[in-house]
A and B are shown apart, each in its own frame.
Chain A
Amino acid sequence: MGELFRRIQYLFNRRRLDAELESDMEFHREMAARAGRRNFGNTLRMREQARETWGWTWLDRLGQDLRYGLRILARSPGFTLTAVLVLAIGIGVNVAAFSLFDMVALKPMPVRDPDSIVRLERRSHDAYTSEMPYASLKFYEQHAKTLAAVMGVLGVPPMQVDEDVQPASASFVTPNYFTELGTPAPYGRMIDPARDASASAAPVVVLSYGFWERRFGSDPSVIGRTIHLNKKPATIVGVTPLAFASLGGQRPDVWIPIAQQPYFVDGSSVLTDPSNSAVRMWGRLAPGVKAKVAEQELRGLTNELRKQHPKDIWDDEYLQSSPGGHLQVMQPAMYQVAAMVSVLTLLILAVACANLGGLLLAKAVTRQHEMEIRVAIGAGRWRLFRQLCTESLLLAVLGAWAGLALGCVVLEVALRQLDAPKWLSATPDWRVLIFTGGVTLFAAMFFGLAPAIQIARQKHRRTTARQILVGAQVAGSCALLIVAGLLVRAAQHALFTDPGFGYEQLLSIDSQLGQHGYKPAAAKAYLDQMQSRLAAAPGVLSVSLVRLPPLGHAVSYANQEIGGHQVLVYPNWVDPGFFRTMGIPLLMGRTFYQGEKHAVIVGQSFARQQWPGQNPVGQLIGDGPQKDMVVGVVGDARVNALNEDDAVEQYWPAQLDDMPGMVVMVRTAGAPGALSPVAKSISESLDPKLFPEMRQIRLLYRDQVVVIEQIASAVSVIGLVAVLLAGVGIIGLVSFTVSQRTKEIAIRIALGAKPAAVLSSVLRQYWWPVAIGLVAGASGAAAASRILRRALYGVSNLDPIGYSGAIAVLILIVALAALLPARRALRLDLAKTLRYE
């Protein structure tokens, strides 16, 4: 310990101690001279040996290397700038991608003790739902000892505020929601368990900061004012902070205590009905309790709950916990996407590094002379190698700074664009910095090692390294371009391909009858009235009922094995007019009769896969003794699975019991938006307590497509950047080859070689690397893009147009990049070249 301390002291006092050592030796020499001795030896060398015992020589050498490296970089600013830029792109893209992941999945939310918050979801071996009955939540809250608190959120359709045209989104939350998160109130107060827990408490709402700004012009005097939500008066008691971090990233306009839900939604039984899964549940682990232990206790409680409500709890149901203190609760599929994205961004880094490696190799030739001199005056290979590695590291560090800045700027822009929660910031945290450091080191090794070895071994003429670098660049950019091509195709496909139903003129009207306590018969009466009056309205072509409307809030599917491979079966419950309203063609058989039972209509793909070569009409479906008979076959329609390639559909006739959950679909002759006021007034006259949610399918569809378009354009930009990088790299390497072989080319031309022969002699060494790179890149893309299938909107991940397009673009750019500098070989001034050489 003492020795280490002294060593460090010596590091800081090196100058003084060296002077003292020098004085010691000086004195020694004086005394020796008095004694008549003159041959003291080389003082400098001895001092150096003595200093070596301090153990800091490596630091001196590193300092030398760094200073020298900086001088070298400063001497060729063009090269340095290019190299830093190339690296900044490679590193920046990775930093931005990792920062995003960090934000979504790693960064703890700015709430009280985020690490102890868990998201709890119902699961069984074959079922999953993100929501649970409020009664279950209360049961767990009362009995779980491993949970210090249970929080719940009930999302509802947008609510009407006073007489506004634009409805406001709302969430009902358990009263402890804000106190558990430790949310301070910038104005007024938050929902408070002491005052807002009971249904008999005065109805209150808390406004979100954004809504307060938009709707109330940031007026602090709104606190205490009464507003009407769905015509029910309530008092505004507070405003959430601007940078409020909510569980699961929910951002409703207004927050309401969950006990008030029956007050705002007339006749609702959500809070009492044990079969109505509607509440998202979070828990806070009791101090010192691990999530697994809590899961264990909750499993026991679930079993108890099953005894009380055997119908409503699945057979092997359990609550699965996942860390809830982050922006996003990560699902396994999200990790797959993250892996896919990281492969793509690392490819860009690889292309950038290969590119820079090429540049360094070419530069090595100009430094050959310098290296020879250094070897001649006694530098060892190891010393040269270390010097070159230091230079690479220096470049990498410069590139990393630029990349970090670039990544943060990109992210900042993205956050603004995406209207992200205000507590997120693009400023890198320690995780991002460590990641940047790691990537930088990795990059420096990748681009610096090969050239350093080659140079230190003094072998410049070998072409293998150049060929490998060209191959790697081509492979990387090929894979990137293909993925970009696939996504562009998917966006086109989604934009211009019929999803199987005519979405342009559809309006869905969801009156939420079940949530308002409607019984089946009453619901049927309401829906019948609604349908007949809508049908009579001008501009309405067709009206029908469906339980799971297109792009709705809920989907349902089951995995089923047909003919040896897994398909996703999407069931739906419809009335006979559904197919006409949706514009789904009836291909065989007939549609349902009114009130028909034990019948099913299947999609074309399902019929083809289940009964290949047979007539599907008349076939039976079902596991139980009571089978359902196929009465018709309709065209494939991705009503609930727009981007699912393997989806097949089954339609069942809606029964009386289904009525409270049914949604009205209307096809209009003109713009569906014009029908909204008509539908609203019909609903008003049928039951003023209802506030139906009306959605234009066309707009929902556009929203979906916009997302894939954005992703496609982002990936395309990245792919093009990679290709341009590769192009620049190839230009550099080919010009280098030409300049190296000037003499040989000149002699050939002088002897009468044809231009084509000259070109091919220059470029021949790159044919194979390019070909191998293309093949490797394409197969890499084929393997990696399997994960992408869901995002591809029905485009195969082996789509030939995507592949051939990408490869064609790449070949074009590579050819241009190779031919431009190679042409110089043909325009050589023969006399001058030959004389000079």
Chain B
Amino acid sequence: MPMSDMPKYGMPSGALPMLILRVLQSGSLHGYAIGQRIHMLSSEILGVEEGLLYPTLQKMLMKGWVTAEWGISETSRKVRFYRLTAQGRKHLKAELSQYDRVTQAIQDILRTA
């Protein structure tokens, strides 16, 4: 699947932290897996560039939304797994409800206008 790895669309700005938080909700993942999961779950529409993923993860570590701990990858390599913190969970909830309200509003306009 050489070509399918390539993102078809860029990531909407500001959405990445929310998506990362969401995919981490079901358990901790390493960086590469986070990218893969987002790519997969978006039915291979959204791709995550490494150049954006790692700075975003650093920012989220700094904010305290995620923590990193050592684990062993599926290729039995020592690698850092990112895990959601309580603070991150709270932030995700807030983000989601905010997002819902905004999309709802946009939808309303698109439907009625």
Instruction: Name A's B-contacting residues (CB within 8 A).
Output: 2-3, 6-7, 10, 20-21, 23-25, 27-28, 30-32, 34-37, 40-41, 45-47, 49-55
Residue ID in chain A nearest B35 by CB atoms: A28
Residue pair B5, A37 in contact (C-beta under 8 Å): yes
Contacts A6-B62, A7-B62, A27-B30 known; 7 new A-B pairs at CB < 8 A? A21-B58, A23-B80, A27-B79, A30-B77, A31-B75, A45-B51, A53-B62
Q: Least Cβ distance of B65 to chain A in Å?
A: 10
> Please, what's the 1-or-0 string for B48-83, where 1 marks a CB less than 8 Å from any CB in chain A?
001100110111011110001000010101111000
A720 to B73, CA, bound (A): 76
CB-CB under 8 A for A24 and B31, given A30-B75, A46-B54: yes
Which residues in chain B, 26-45, are within 8 Å of chain A measured between CB atoms?
30-32, 35
Residue pair A25, B54 in contact (C-beta under 8 Å): yes
Residue ID in chain A nearest B82 by CB atoms: A24
Q: Least Cβ distance of B40 to chain A in Å?
A: 12
Q: For B58, B77, B80, which residue has the most chain A Cβ atoms within 10 angstroms?
A: B58
Q: Least Cβ distance of A512 to chain B in Å?
A: 81
List chain B residues, Cβ under 8 A from A20.
68, 80
Residue pair A46, B51 in contact (C-beta under 8 Å): yes
List chain B residues, Cβ under 8 A from A45.
51
A54 to B60, CA, bound (A): 10
* Dominant SS among interface residues on chain A: helix
A10 to B63, CA, bound (A): 12
Q: Which 10 A-B pairs have the closest CB atoms?
A: A53-B58, A31-B32, A50-B54, A50-B55, A36-B2, A53-B59, A28-B32, A50-B58, A27-B79, A49-B55
Residue pair A54, B62 in contact (C-beta under 8 Å): yes
Residue pair A27, B32 in contact (C-beta under 8 Å): yes
* Dominant SS among interface residues on chain B: helix
A10 to B77, CA, bound (A): 25
A30 to B61, CA, bound (A): 23
List chain A residues, Cβ under 8 A from B57.
50
Residue pair A27, B73 in contact (C-beta under 8 Å): yes
Measured as residues with beta carbon below 8 angstroms from the partner, the interface class of chain B is 20 to 34
List chain A residues, Cβ under 8 A from B58.
21, 50-51, 53-54
List chain A residues, Cβ under 8 A from B30.
24, 27
A41 to B51, CA, bound (A): 8
B15 adjacent to chain A (CB < 8 Å): no
Q: Least Cβ distance of A180 to chain B in Å?
A: 57
Residue pair B61, A6 in contact (C-beta under 8 Å): yes
List chain B residues, Cβ under 8 A from A23.
78-80
B110 adjacent to chain A (CB < 8 Å): no
B113 adjacent to chain A (CB < 8 Å): no
Residue ID in chain A nearest B53 by CB atoms: A28
Sample of 29 A–B contacts (CB below 8 Å): A2-B64, A20-B80, A21-B58, A23-B78, A23-B79, A24-B79, A25-B50, A27-B32, A27-B77, A28-B32, A30-B75, A30-B77, A32-B32, A34-B75, A35-B2, A35-B5, A36-B1, A36-B5, A37-B5, A41-B50, A46-B50, A47-B54, A49-B51, A49-B54, A49-B55, A50-B55, A50-B57, A51-B58, A53-B55
The residue that B55 contacts in the complex, of A6, A7, A31, A52, with Cβ under 8 A, is A52
A40 to B55, CA, bound (A): 15
List chain A residues, Cβ under 8 A from B64.
2-3, 6
A45 to B57, CA, bound (A): 16
A54 to B62, CA, bound (A): 7
List chain A residues, Cβ under 8 A from B78.
23
Instruction: Name B's A-contacting residues (CB within 8 A).
Output: 1-2, 5, 30-32, 35, 50-51, 54-55, 57-59, 61-64, 68, 73, 75, 77-80
A45 to B2, CA, bound (A): 25
Q: Least Cβ distance of A8 to chain B in Å?
A: 11
Residue pair B50, A10 in contact (C-beta under 8 Å): no
The residue that B50 contacts in the complex, of A40, A51, A54, with Cβ under 8 A, is A40
Q: For A21, A47, A51, which residue has the most chain B Cβ atoms within 10 angstroms?
A: A21
A2 to B2, CA, bound (A): 42
List chain A residues, Cβ under 8 A from B61.
6
Residue pair B80, A28 in contact (C-beta under 8 Å): no
Q: Least Cβ distance of B75 to chain A in Å?
A: 7
Residue ID in chain A nearest B74 by CB atoms: A31
Residue pair B31, A27 in contact (C-beta under 8 Å): yes
Q: For A28, A36, A40, which residue has the most chain B Cβ atoms within 10 angstroms?
A: A28
List chain A residues, Cβ under 8 A from B1.
35-36
CB-CB under 8 A for A21 and B54, given A27-B32, A35-B5, A53-B62: yes
Q: Least Cβ distance of A23 to chain B in Å?
A: 7
Residue pair B32, A3 in contact (C-beta under 8 Å): no
List chain A residues, Cβ under 8 A from B35.
28
List chain B residues, Cβ under 8 A from A31.
32, 75
A49 to B78, CA, bound (A): 24
A36 to B77, CA, bound (A): 19
Q: Least Cβ distance of A7 to chain B in Å?
A: 6
Q: Least Cβ distance of B66 to chain A in Å?
A: 12
List chain A residues, Cβ under 8 A from B75.
30-31, 34
Q: Least Cβ distance of B59 to chain A in Å?
A: 4
The residue that A28 contacts in the complex, of B31, B55, B62, B63, with Cβ under 8 A, is B31
Residue ID in chain A nearest B79 by CB atoms: A27
Q: Least Cβ distance of A18 to chain B in Å?
A: 11
Q: Least Cβ distance of B99 to chain A in Å?
A: 23
Residue ID in chain B nearest A28 by CB atoms: B32
A3 to B85, CA, bound (A): 14
Q: Least Cβ distance of B16 to chain A in Å?
A: 13
Residue pair A28, B50 in contact (C-beta under 8 Å): yes
Q: Least Cβ distance of B38 to chain A in Å?
A: 14
A46 to B54, CA, bound (A): 8
Residue ID in chain B nearest A10 by CB atoms: B62
A717 to B35, CA, bound (A): 74
List chain B residues, Cβ under 8 A from A10.
62
A21 to B31, CA, bound (A): 10
A23 to B31, CA, bound (A): 11
Residue ID in chain A nearest B68 by CB atoms: A20
Q: For B1, B51, B57, B80, which residue has the most chain A Cβ atoms within 10 angstroms?
A: B51
Residue pair A37, B2 in contact (C-beta under 8 Å): yes
A35 to B54, CA, bound (A): 19
A2 to B51, CA, bound (A): 26
Q: For A25, A37, A50, which residue has the most chain B Cβ atoms within 10 angstroms?
A: A50
A3 to B1, CA, bound (A): 41
List chain A residues, Cβ under 8 A from B77.
27, 30
List chain B residues, Cβ under 8 A from A41.
50-51
Q: Least Cβ distance of B104 to chain A in Å?
A: 31
